[in-house]
Structures are given as C-alpha cells and as structure tokens.
Amino acid sequence: MNNLADLKKIITLIVFILLLLLFEGTTGWVRKFYMQYDIIVMFIKYLLVSILVFKYKKRFTKIFITAFCLMWVVLIAYIAPPLKEIDQHPLLSVFFSFPNILSACLGVYAGYVFEIKKNKIKGAIFSFVVILLCIGFSFNNTYYYHFISHTNFCPKEKIDAQKDIYSLHDADSREIILDKHKYTVMDFWHTSCYACFEKFPAFEKLYEQYKDHPELQFYAVNKPLRSDTFDIFKRTEKYTFPSVRGSGNIAEVFDVRVYPTVVIVKDNRILHSGSVESAEKYIRKHVR
C-alpha cells in the first residue's frame, strides 16, 4: 500500500513538473519580446498560479512547491539558458536569470501567504513591496547585467594569428578592411538580442562624439545567426554609425561572450571588452 501511495506521489510530482514546464514555455514569450519586464511578469504569473493551486488543490501544496523547484533545475541544467545570446558560457545564464527566478519564487511564497497562511494583509503588503522592487530593478537592470557580463572575464590581449581569419561586409556586400593601426570600436550584436537594440542609441551617441577623430573607427558588427531571415541592415538603418555583417566566427576571433559587447582593438590587440559606457571611459582615458 505504501509503495502504491509513493508511486502516486511520484507520478503527481512528474505531472506538476510537466505542467509547470508547459506553463513556463507558453508564457516565456515576454522575455523574448522585452526582457526588461520579465521580472515583473514572473512574480505576477507565479503568484496567480500558486493562489489557484493552494486554493483548489491544497493537498498538493508540498508537491507543487517541490515541482516548482525541480522545474527550474530542469530548465537551467538541461533545456536552454534563459538568455540565448550567451553562447560560449551557458553558466552565465544562471546569473543573468537569477533575479527573474527569485521573482518567481517570491510569487509562489506570496501565494502561500495568501492561501495557506490566510493572511491577506501580509500577502498584499509583501506583494506590493516585491512589485515595487521588480519595477525598480527592471528600469535599472543595466548595471546588474553589465556587472555579470563584463567583470568576470579578462579579454585576450592579442588575437590569435591563426584565428584572425574573418570578414566584414557592408550592406552592399563590399568587404571592409580594418585599419589595424587605428582604434577600432566594434559594437557586437545579433538579431535575437533585444538588449542590443536598446544600446544602439548609446553607441550612436559615442560615434557622433568621436566620428571625426583621426585615430578612431566605429562599426556595429552583426554576428550572423541561422535564424536570420531578413536583412539585418534594416535594424540599424536609422543610425549613422557604420553597420557591417561579420563572418560566422567573428565572435570567437574577438572573444565576445555576451551581447551586446563593445570591443576596442588596435595593432591586432584587444584593448577593451565591455559595455558601451566602459568603452567611452576607455576612449576618454587612452585616446588623445
């Protein structure tokens, strides 16, 4: 009898995990559309789901919480990193997605307070505070993402000569030859990186400020993806900075690990790799 009861619990747990995976898969489009708001959506959607489960299926409380935790283990470890633009270091996706996962956990806890603890006032106050924090983070997440993206790795000092085989082409398919004796400032991006589009105005401002400097040249460098089905140059046509398309190995050559990343190169050496803001600081300090 105990074996049968344990088997039912295991089956119920697996069902909850599958349902939660389906739920996350069908509601995760927000992060693809506009990741900035995903942290808010994560709290709200898991608050509502947990309230429904705890209210109508209270006997499954422990199983639901266990399934919720295991679901995130499965997502992080086996299926796909929440941020697809992290190509070479999937472990970074855990740090990138941590605020959103924490927001989902807080949503489940808020639902627990509402329906299990039956404390509506505490649940409402807790939810209000968390939503305010999520809103604050969503509009200031750049600092967190820049810290995670650009402070964990040291760029290569010199581009490997054997890897220095790449090509850059403009909208007319003409090959671009970089002047290696100049500071080349390259903003790496790809079409699935919505954060890249948000940073184009900052790169445009940097370009307008230094475009006439004799020692500087600027390029927005697109990394091609298999999923690209449209003209990538349409994404940058409203800006004045030069836009080029790189060959498939362009990110490996310049040691780009996350997007967007601004790389500054001179004399075949990577001098800087980071955000557009840190690139501006480097230029002000080193380029006369």
DSSP states of 75-137: IIIII--S-TT--S-THHHHHHHHHHHHHHHHHHHHHHHHHTS--HHHHHHHHHHHHHHHHHH
- pLDDT of residue 241 exceeding 80, the answer is yes
Average pLDDT over residues 167-172: 87
Q: Determine the pLDDT at residue 288.
A: 77
Q: Which two tokens stand for residue 214?
A: 């004799």
The CA–CA distances, whole Å, from 101 to 14, 43, 105, 112, 269 equal: 20, 9, 6, 17, 38
- Quick: pLDDT tens for 260-272: 889 998 888 888 8
Burial 51-63 (b: 16+ CB within 10 A, else e): bebbeeeeebeeb
Q: What percent of the chain has pLDDT over 90?
A: 34
- Quick: pLDDT tens for 68-119: 999 888 777 665 444 444 444 555 566 667 888 899 999 999 999 999 999 9
Q: Minimum mean pLDDT among 18-22, 153-157, 214-218, 274-278: which range?
A: 153-157
How many Cα neighbours within 13 Å face the side chain of 23?
A: 18
Q: Which two tokens stand for residue 210?
A: 């230094």
Q: Determine the pLDDT at residue 110.
A: 96
- pLDDT of residue 160 exceeding 70, the answer is no
Q: Which two tokens stand for residue 93?
A: 């996706």
CATH of domain 168-286: 3.40.30.10
Q: Determine the pLDDT at residue 87.
A: 45
Q: Minimum mean pLDDT among 117-131, 156-170, 258-272: which range?
A: 156-170
- pLDDT of residue 124 exceeding 90, the answer is yes
Contacts of 156 (CB under 8 A, 6+ apart): 255, 270
Cβ atoms 94, 31 nearer than 8 A: no
pTM beyond 0.75, yes or no = no
* Cα gap 260→147, rounded to integer Å: 13
Cβ atoms 241, 220 nearer than 8 A: yes
More confident residue, 225 or 148: 225
Average pLDDT, the chain: 82
Q: Which two tokens stand for residue 183?
A: 């500071």
* Cα gap 35→96, rounded to integer Å: 11
Q: Determine the pLDDT at residue 143.
A: 66
